[in-house]
Chain A
Amino acid sequence: MQGAIDSNTAAANGHAAVAHEAHEEHQDLRVLGLITFLASEFLMFAGFFAVFLVFRGSAAEWPPKETEVELLLPAVNTLILVSSSWVINLGTKAIKKNDLAGMRKWFGITAAMGAVFLAGQVYEYMNLGYGLRTNLFSNCFYLTTGFHGAHVFIGLVLILGVLWRSRRANHYSDITHTGPEMAEIYWHFVDVVWIVLFTLIYLLTLLN
């Protein structure tokens, strides 16, 4: 290694330099941390997707006759979840312009859309003629959609948490909006996972 002397400092002269304040705050790294974590989280879903595809590839009939999937409700649900990603983005755009009321409005709508998605999911579960144990397909179906649903629920809690905290004056502003930003990123993640799931479970059956 070459002599790694930082020419910006007096240390090059053989004296120590006071380069940093003793108790400086470092930049806010939480968004970066969340993205790193979600990259990892996605791999868990990738494991489930891989299992699903292996079973689909090796089954004689997928999904089997007794476990037909319904398309209309999930398609409507997909539309709701995917559009909610645009809505939540309007919310963070608003807070970046210091428009707190706007953020609260768009986040509220996003939360409502997420709740409708979850309700639709529960409705679908209740009206399907099969349960978790029926066969291998239903195992995969309930496990993957169930885990995704749990993630939607967590996203919903995050959004409601942002709304709760936004009641405090000056908690979020055009300068401090990491909370809403993180909620948005998480919501997009949930959305992307759903798009893959919808493709695997519902759209691929159209090929049959």
Chain B
Amino acid sequence: MAQADVSIKPTEVQGGHGHPDKWKWYDYFTFNVDHKVIGIQYLVTSFLFYLAGGFMAVLMRTELATPDSDFLSPDLYNAFLTNHGTIMIFLWIVPAAIGGFGNFLIPLMIGARDMAFPKLNAIAFWLNPPAGAVLAASFFLGGGAQSGWTSYPPLSEITANLPQTLWCVALVMVGTSSILGSVNFLVTIWKMRIPSMKWDQMPLFCWAMVATSILALFATPVLAAALILLTFDINFGTSFFKPDAGGNVVVYQHLFWFYSHPAVYLMILPIFGIMSEVIPVHARKPIFGYKAIAYSSLTICLVGLFVWVHHMFTSGTAPWMRIFFTISTLIVAVPTGVKIFSWVATLWGGKIRYTTAMLFAVGLLSMFVFGGLSGVTLGAAPFDIHVHDTYYVVGHFHYVLFGGSVFGIYSGIYHWFPKITGRMLNEPLGKVHFVLTFIGTLLTFTPMHQLGMQGMPRRVAMYDPQFADLNQLVTVGAYILAVSVIPFYFNVIWSWRSGKEAGPNPWNALTLEWTTDSPPIIENWEVLPVLTHGPYEYGMDKANQVGPAGEPTEATQV
């Protein structure tokens, strides 16, 4: 154990040049320690889980097209409900946004050859596919967990014991993966920047990942504690959450939300980072308020640890706690608003290029403002008590998670696909994808707010006929969303093989990942780049991108 082993064995080394060749396709199916391979592994697996979770959503919406329970059995509906949420959060958004973009981009953005702990990184990824397999197995060993992604006791302790236990095991696995990944991100960003890059010269995505990693480190172990206690209650006869034996179900809710509210920020902070990269590049303007955006990420991280009880306003929470947590929740809107205004100010007067990446970024802006505002309404205890456990809540968090996180992941894919694969995605097809997604999102998630205000409860397979019209509209929207992924997946598969060659820097961007080949060589650069300008100095004379070979690149003419 003399030194951390960071050297990477390439599949093949070109004779003479002394620099390694690219990875072969089968390297992507192995325990590979290259951060770019791991990033792609995260992205591809999470996009597969996205299809699985989306498939469940389509089946649920088909059930909900009519008021009666006539398509899925109620148990199957509950299992889909539980696993749709679990998969979309823990196996799609978190691994795609944090594991995928984080691993691929961070060493490239800070001028490092790899993450600080490459083997640990690979271990963290390889915890994910087995977790998905365990969830899949839970369907065949007792019909899947039934109690929703929150798995509140007593329901989670009296239904489907084996699947519920498997669910806990799967979550502890992805949680461990998340903790190991966060250790890696923090140490890498802290210690492995090229010497010429100071903290305030880092791309904002790195700042976002610092905040994300701190949150994951502090919140995830508490979820693990909750799940361990739940597992003991279910299988080993303890009574932590059994009121008849002196236990307390609200204790579970506290532990669960101490993680799961910060988990919301885990899913959006990296997306904020993606926004801060995509918008300046495609608006050809320096980012507005670099420090404000960087520090607002840390503020969200800090305040986000003290808001969790707003999920529990109806759990017999004491009035003083309601007041405290209403106030702390509303405070989160301030740093979030700082970001929104900074992005709008960045767009203002820019030479905006309406690429698909930019369309998704701007789409996210509008969607997220809507979802953020409905979040503020839910943060206020008096209103929340009225709409708690209704479709208003479902509408709100889908606006934030789909209109926010998923739009951001799409935007990031259109932006960095050329870097990841060396080929451009097809732009017209991308625009079809965007239009379908945008319309589908509006149609699916907007009527849910009205349904909730009218009193339709969430997590039901059967509902009062008075809600039928709006529910049919929602189902049509869901079908449009289902169709919207077809041009996207087709585009990705087709372009990966035969898209237009991208070259090192197709967007004339200034951050360091664009100074190397597309896709980057193993170990990223033959000679590490030297920072000669900030990450966002578009339209300024100083912007003089110097590539590793010593030739000013096209970015000189920004």
Q: Report the minimum CB–CB distance from A203 to chain B (whole Å).
A: 22
Which residues of B are found within 8 Å of A171, using beta-carbon distances? 1-2
Do B528 and A19 touch (CB < 8 A)? yes
Cβ contact of B546, chosen from A11, A46, A48, cutoff 8 A: A11
Instruction: For the complex, give the distance between the alpha carbons of A102 and B237 in Å.
Output: 47
Write the B209-229 contact mask toward A (1 if CB under 8 angstroms, else 0).
Answer: 000000001111110111011
CB distance from B189 to the nearest CB of A (A): 12
CB-nearest residue of chain A relative to B526? A22
Which residues of chain B have C-beta atoms less than 8 A from A140's C-beta?
A: 240
Could you mark each residue 170-202 of chain A with 1 if its beta carbon is under 8 Å from any beta carbon of chain B, else 0? Answer: 010000101100000000000000000000000
Check A40 for interface membership: any CB of B closer than 8 A: yes
Q: With A5-B533, A139-B232 in contact, is A54–B238 under 8 Å at CB? A: no
Beta-carbon contacts under 8 Å, A4-41 to B: 4-6, 8-9, 11-12, 14-20, 22-23, 25-30, 32-33, 36-37, 39-41
* A97 in contact (CB, < 8 A): no
Chain A CB count within 10 A is highest, among B112, B221, B537, for B221
Answer whether residue B99 sits at the interface, using C-beta atoms and an 8 A cutoff: no
Q: Which residues from chain B contact A48 at a C-beta distance below 8 Å?
A: 225
Q: Which of A93-131 contact B (CB under 8 A)?
A: none
Provide the residues of chain A in CB contact with B547, threshold 8 Å: 16
Please name all residues of chain A whose beta carbon is closer than 8 Å to the beta carbon of B486 when the two chains form the complex.
none
In angstroms, how far is the closest chain A Cβ from the Cβ of B21? 15
- Closest partner residue, chain B, to A58 (CB atom): B248
CB distance from B544 to the nearest CB of A (A): 7
Residues on A with beta carbons closer than 8 Å to the beta carbon of B552: 14
Which range holds the interface residue count of chain B? Answer: 35 or more
Alpha-carbon distance between A32 and B188 when the two chains are bound, in angstroms: 10
Q: How far is the CB of A24 from chain B (nearest CB, A)?
A: 8
CB < 8 Å: which of B3, B182, B544 contacts A28?
B3
CB neighbours (8 Å) of B182 from chain A are 36, 40
Q: Choose from A40, A132, A143 the contact partner of B220 (Cβ within 8 Å).
A: A40
Among A6, A29, A37, point to the contact of B530 (Cβ < 8 A).
Answer: A6
Query: B159 at interface (Cβ–Cβ under 8 A)?
Result: no
CA distance A1 to B289 in the complex (A): 9
Q: Decide: A51 and B251 in contact? CB cutoff 8 A.
A: yes
| Beta-carbon contact of B117 and A33 below 8 Å | yes
Distance (Å) between the CB of A39 and the closest chain B CB? 7
Given A40-B183, A139-B240, decide whether A22 and B222 contact each other with a Cβ distance below 8 A. no
B196-251 CB contacts (< 8 Å) to partner A: 196, 198, 200-201, 217-222, 224-226, 228-229, 232, 236-240, 245-248, 251
A29 touches B187 (CB 8 A): yes
Asked whether, in the complex, the Cβ of B1 is within 8 Å of the Cβ of A165, the reply is yes
A30 pairs with B117, CB closer than 8 A: yes
Contact (Cβ within 8 A) B201 A4: yes
* Cβ-defined contact, B532 with A18, below 8 A: no
Q: Does A133 contact B (CB under 8 A)?
A: yes
> Is B236 a contact of A44 with CB atoms below 8 Å?
no
Residues in A whose Cβ lies below 8 Å from that of B198 = 4
What are the residues of chain A within 8 A of B201 when measuring CB–CB?
1, 4
| B245 contacts A136, C-beta separation under 8 Å | yes
B534 at the interface (CB under 8 A from A): yes
Q: Is the CB of B196 within 8 A of A19?
A: yes
A88 to B190, CA, bound (A): 29
A4 to B192, CA, bound (A): 18
Query: CB distance A132 to B236 under 8 Å?
Result: yes
User: Chain A residues with Cβ under 8 A from B526's Cβ?
Assistant: 22
